[in-house]
């Protein structure tokens, strides 16, 4: 009987153990089901959100509107106000900085000792003297440069005047001025000879003629007149009647040299039967020029 009870107890424990294992499995199953339900719920929720996000309107993604940028130029009054405020702030800062600098300078001088102030004054005086000396040196240099420039200009002016004078005297340049024009027709008694015509030129020179021309020939220091079968030859050029002589100088003196009694003008009329007329226009222009003479032996002295 005792053995029968033991067997029953053993059987009861054996039956109870399987029952506890099934309960545990059931609880695990329920927990797994709840986890699956939560996961499915989350997946459905995420899927619904994705569909909402991926929803398309008129064939495009949802339009994201941008906030327009504000331009300062769109409101000129605001721009002017901001500029004015900025200028006021900058002026205030500059004034503040200037006052600080002035105060610092005054404080620096106030804190200096008597010896330091004396040394500072001495150094400043020395600097002023050095600057004054440098100023005087520069002034002297400027005066020297001006004098040199004036001398150079004066030399150039004199050289130009000499060149013009030389060009006029040598016949290289045309000339114009007051003077006389003399017209001499061929003599009715006898042809005018070269010596009488050359005397006319000499009388004009003695009367102060500066420039003379005979026909198309410019008269210079080496000018000559010679006789030929065809007429008068002046520096190799045949002169044609009526002879035209132009001279630049004092018109009154030149007229007197030609028209004076017993002069060359009277000789032309009396001896050769020529007609002589002397006029004094306001301006006598002599365009006849000649090349500068080249000297074979004479050289400029050093």
Which residue bears the tokens 């220091």?
221
Nearby residues of 182 by Cβ (< 8 Å), 6 or more positions away = 200, 244, 245, 246, 247, 258, 276, 277, 278
Question: Are residues 211 and 248 in contact, defined by beta-carbon separation less than 8 angstroms?
Answer: yes
Rounded Cα gap, residues 298 and 232, in angstroms: 30
State which fold the 175-286 domain adopts: Alpha-Beta Plaits (3.30.70)
Question: Could you report how far apart the first and last alpha carbons of the chain are, in Å?
Answer: 176
Rounded Cα gap, residues 26 and 77, in angstroms: 79
Nearby residues of 172 by Cβ (< 8 Å), 6 or more positions away = 166, 289, 290, 291, 292
For 191, the token pair is 């042809």
Question: Are residues 201 and 208 in contact, defined by beta-carbon separation less than 8 angstroms?
Answer: no
Closest CA to 204 of 284, 164, 263: 263
Specify the 3-state DSSP secondary structure of 288: coil
Rounded Cα gap, residues 28 and 24, in angstroms: 6
Provide the b/e sequence for 169-199 (b: ≥16 CB within 10 Å): ebbbbebeeebbebebbbbeeeebbbebbbb
Specify the 3-state DSSP secondary structure of 286: strand
Q: Which residues of the chain have pLDDT under 70?
A: 1-40, 44, 46-47, 50-76, 101-110, 112, 302
Question: Are residues 225 and 204 in contact, defined by beta-carbon separation less than 8 angstroms?
Answer: no
> pTM to 2 decimals?
0.49
Nearby residues of 192 by Cβ (< 8 Å), 6 or more positions away = 184, 186, 232, 243, 268, 272, 274
Distances in whole angstroms, Cα of residue 150 to Cα of each of 15, 142, 163, 235:
143, 12, 19, 44
Extents of the domains making up the chain: 1-43, 114-169, 175-286
Which residue bears the tokens 């719920």?
41
Query: pLDDT digit string (tens) for 149-196?
Result: 888 887 788 788 778 878 888 888 999 999 999 999 987 888 899 999
pLDDT of residue 1: 44
């Amino acid at each position: 009987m005792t053995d029968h009870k033991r067997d029953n107890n053993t059987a009861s424990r054996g039956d109870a153990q399987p029952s506890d294992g099934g309960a545990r499995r059931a609880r695990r199953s329920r927990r797994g089901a709840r986890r699956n339900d939560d996961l499915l719920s989350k997946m459905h929720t995420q899927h619904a959100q994705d569909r909402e996000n991926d929803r398309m309107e008129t064939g495009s993604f949802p339009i994201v509107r941008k906030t327009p940028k504000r331009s300062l130029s769109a409101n000129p009054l605001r721009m002017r106000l901001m500029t004015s405020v900025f200028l006021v702030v900058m002026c205030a800062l500059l004034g503040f900085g200037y006052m600080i600098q002035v105060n610092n300078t005054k404080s620096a001088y106030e804190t200096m000792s008597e010896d330091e102030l004396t040394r500072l004054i001495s150094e400043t005086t020395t600097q002023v003297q050095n600057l004054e000396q440098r100023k005087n040196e520069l002034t002297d240099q400027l005066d020297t440069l001006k004098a040199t420039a004036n001398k150079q200009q004066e030399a150039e002016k004199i050289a130009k005047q000499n060149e013009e004078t030389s060009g006029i005297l040598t016949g290289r340049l045309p000339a114009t001025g007051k003077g006389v024009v003399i017209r001499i027709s061929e003599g009715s008694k006898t042809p005018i000879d070269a010596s009488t015509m050359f005397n006319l030129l000499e009388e004009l020179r003695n009367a102060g003629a500066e420039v003379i021309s005979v026909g198309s020939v410019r008269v210079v220091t080496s000018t000559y007149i010679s006789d030929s079968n065809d007429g008068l030859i002046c520096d190799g050029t045949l002169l044609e009647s009526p002879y035209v002589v132009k001279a630049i100088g004092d018109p009154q003196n030149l007229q007197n040299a030609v028209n004076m009694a017993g002069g060359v003008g009277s000789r032309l009329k009396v001896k050769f039967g020529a007609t002589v007329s002397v006029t004094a226009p306001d301006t006598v222009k002599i365009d006849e020029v000649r090349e500068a003479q080249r000297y074979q032996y004479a050289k400029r002295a050093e």
